[in-house]
Structure 1
Amino acid sequence: MKYDLVIIGGGPAGLSAANAAWEDGCRSICIVERDRELGGILNQCIHNGFGLHYFKEELTGPEYAGRFIEMLRGTGVDVRLDAMVLEVTEEKQVHIVSSAGGYEVLEAGAVVLAMGCRERTRGAIAIPGTRPAGVFTAGTAQRYLNMEGYMVGKRVVILGSGDIGLIMARRMTLEGAKVLACVEVMPYSGGLTRNIVQCLNDFDIPLYLSHTITDIQGKDRVERVVVAEVGPDRRPIPGTEMTFDCDTVLLSVGLIPENELSRGAGIQMDPRTNGPVVYENMETSIPGVFACGNVLHVHDLVDFVTAESARAGKSAAAYCVGSRLPADHVLDIKNGNLVGYTVPQHIHMDAQFAAIDVFFRVRGICGESRIVVTDDTGAQIASFHRERMAPGEMENIKLPRVLLDKAQGAITVSVEEGSK
């Protein structure tokens, strides 16, 4: 079967891309989603705080997804649910399998990758100890509790301070569990400041920074964990051990973009983000294949996913009607001091745009600072003041066309601490 546009993933990124492409005139669109319903991770995020930027009101995750699903109902977008994508080829052939259609190959004029991300597991971080029941990733526990109706434990220790772990600390407490501690190996939290305040401080849940779990003990079920302070090398410091009697461990130790399909297609990947390298229009190294949302880089706000994915959908729609951007005048974006990565990594300078949004995360807690953009000659082309920045909160800057036109060679985004 042939489509102008095939979107892989029916979560917030895929829904936004589909709606944007339809609004721009693309009338042959298919969303392929492996779950039984659209909405992705939002379906299990029953807490509020979504939509403040995009809808200018506070919504729960299902409400936010529902808004886009309702928009989709007014279109002719084809939706394949309970369908797994097995392969995406460089020729934009999408191999899928489902109980309804069996094995199919969808021919696409353009493809949007919106597969989201997955959680790191205990095996990925190699926590010592026995292997009892009661060890969950925070997202798995969230799904069990919010969608399946299962209480995963009564006495809980959370390893990692990512946003899902922080939110689950509050959620477990509200369901009657005792959250004994949130333990973070880094000297700063990996989550949003508002989640630290609302999910830990408001419920008197202690946060142990520069600590980690060094042992999980228990035969059939988790019985206790040993927590120790770590030094600058992140190795446990002998003599600092604390023991917590608990029956459950939740892991919130990072998210990994789901890019097996991207790598299989031969798309150029960025080792800093674990996502594809993209241009300002969200196009990857394969013309006509676009990426957006958490498959590209891990976001902290779904509103940013929506805006980014709309850009990918509009770009894919333009590609389907023959719009091509030449690659002979490309401006590269590099990361400098204290900046972990940048998205996008390249800008088509032959494209029509007034300004480019550049997203990045810092490598550590920064107080009053300047974000400085320089070119290859060392000339400063832009500067932005920030009172505070943290790795758990994604930053973005807007670079006007008139400034980018002045750049000689590539541009570098850096942070200078202690300056206005």
Structure 2
Amino acid sequence: MTRRVDVLVVGAGPAGLAAAARLAVGGAGRVEVLDREQRAGGVPRHCAHGGYGTWLHPLTGPGYARLLVDAALRTGAVVRTGVSVLDWAGPPHGPLALATVGRDGPETIEARAVILATGARERPRAARLVPGTRPAGVCTTGELQQAVHLYGQRIGTRAVIVGAEGVSYSAADTVRAAGADVVAMVTESDRARTTRLRAQDARLRRRVPLLTGTAVVELLGHGRLSGVRVRHRDGRTAVLACDTVVFTGDFVPENELARSGGLTLAPETSRPGVFAAGGLLHPGQSAADAARAGARVAVTVQGFLNDPCRPAPEANLAAPSRPSANTPTP
């Protein structure tokens, strides 16, 4: 079955929802948002800590996600969850169309404009080339937060956090919320990559050791993680006993859909009518920055809808329509 909409947004995170709300309220016609998750809101859904909203109206991550979803729905945008976008449908230079599959089966959706707001993800252990065994207890921040805050699952009792960014400290908060202890935070950097106040609070009040100039070089244990081997910059090694390790930060864009279409990524991509916003362009950016980027790209999309014959930027006209099978992942 083929349906037609005016604007199709792929990704119901802060960028996609903010763009949909701005377009719907601006009279862009039928605006539809698709997300493969069962609930809309993106990463903030499982960030139970504060730091969202404003100084006058502080929110937790789930509260911020609900605010964005409600705003999109109030403006008349349609938000559909549990729908996966498989690939582009039709010829590269034909009408914009995406092949999807959801609860009701496969469907092709044509649109006058498409916004890619697929976000970013943290590199898992395998992509970081950390050797060792393959025990249970190895995860990223997103996997940890979903397990604890969305599904109420138990984790281990002693965790090592790999990284010292803001997201790393959020992971440490989640570990403590699950009733486990943080053995140490390990980073190859010379210092914590977060605010001084947050770093001092973790070190002095929470008593979480920060090992700088240190890398995790091996995972140990069979069945369940029993420890991690670390190497300091001077060559010394040590083993930290733990049953959980959380790899944090090091975000990469969820760019598979863009790659399959051979798109050069920018707010206006190399294919006229296709736009991008949020973590897809700036992996690791805050939810508030992603939402602002979504609102900005909505203005550009509105201009395109009012003038669909406008050519793509000259710098992008030479982009290939399809990638070769050997195109590497950025």
TM > 0.5 fold call: yes
Q: Residues 201, 23 of structure 1: CA spacing in aligned structure 2 closer, same or farther, 3 A cutoff?
A: farther
Amino acid at match of 2:96: K
In 1, Cα distance between equivalents of 2:48 and 2:290: 18
Instruction: Quote the offset at 1:242 in angstroms.
Output: 2.2
Give the match for residue 99 of structure 1.
Answer: 103
Q: Is the 8 A contact 2:272 2:312 kept in 1?
A: no
Identity %: 32
Q: Is the 8 A contact 1:226 1:243 kept in 2?
A: yes
In 2, Cα distance between equivalents of 1:192 and 1:43: 23
Amino acid at match of 2:297: A
Compute the RMSD of aligned alpha carbons.
Answer: 2.1
Give the paired residue count. Answer: 309
Instruction: Quote the offset at 1:114 in angstroms.
Output: 0.4
Instruction: Quote the offset at 1:25 in angstroms.
Output: 1.3
In 1, Cα distance between equivalents of 2:314 and 2:222: 62
2:271 is matched with which residue: 286, 300, 304?
286
SS of the aligned residue for 1:173 comes to helix
Which string of whole-angstrom CA distances, capped at 9 and with x for unpartnered residues, describes residues 302-344 of structure 1?
11111111011222122122266566788xxxxxxxxxxxxxx
Q: Is the 8 A contact 2:12 2:33 kept in 1?
A: yes
Amino acid at match of 1:285: S
Instruction: Quote the offset at 1:98 in angstroms.
Output: 0.9
Amino acid at match of 1:72: A
SS of the aligned residue for 2:64 comes to helix
Q: Residues 324, 191 of structure 1: CA spacing in aligned structure 2 closer, same or farther, 3 A cutoff?
A: farther
Q: Is the 8 A contact 1:27 1:77 kept in 2?
A: no
Q: Is the 8 A contact 2:304 2:310 kept in 1?
A: no
Q: Residues 41, 198 of structure 1: CA spacing in aligned structure 2 closer, same or farther, 3 A cutoff?
A: farther
Give the match for residue 309 of structure 1.
Answer: 294
Q: Which moved more, 1:312-321 or 1:61-70?
A: 312-321
Q: Residues 83, 304 of structure 1: CA spacing in aligned structure 2 closer, same or farther, 3 A cutoff?
A: same
Give the match for residue 168 of structure 1.
Answer: 171
Give the match for residue 224 of structure 1.
Answer: 227
Structure 2: state its 5+ residue gaps: 316-330
Give the match for residue 248 of structure 1.
Answer: 244
Instruction: Quote the offset at 1:253 in angstroms.
Output: 4.3
Which string of whole-angstrom CA distances, capped at 9 and with x for unpartnered residues, describes residues 87-126 of structure 1?
13544211101122x1111111000000111121111112
Give the match for residue 43 of structure 2.
Answer: 41
Q: Does 1:260 align with 2:256?
A: yes
Amino acid at match of 1:26: A
SS of the aligned residue for 2:112 comes to strand
In 2, Cα distance between equivalents of 1:98 and 1:200: 46
Q: Which has the higher contact order (CA 8 A, sep 6+)?
A: 2
Q: Does 1:29 align with 2:25?
A: no
Q: Is the 8 A contact 1:170 1:199 kept in 2?
A: no
Give the match for residue 319 of structure 2.
Answer: none
Give the match for residue 282 of structure 2.
Answer: 297
Q: Is the 8 A contact 2:73 2:79 kept in 1?
A: no
Taking structure 1 as the reference length, what is the TM-score of the superposition?
0.69
Taking structure 2 as the reference length, what is the TM-score of the superposition?
0.87
SS of the aligned residue for 2:40 comes to coil
In 1, Cα distance between equivalents of 2:73 and 2:10: 18
Q: Does 1:8 align with 2:20?
A: no
In 1, Cα distance between equivalents of 2:141 and 2:45: 15
Amino acid at match of 1:3: V
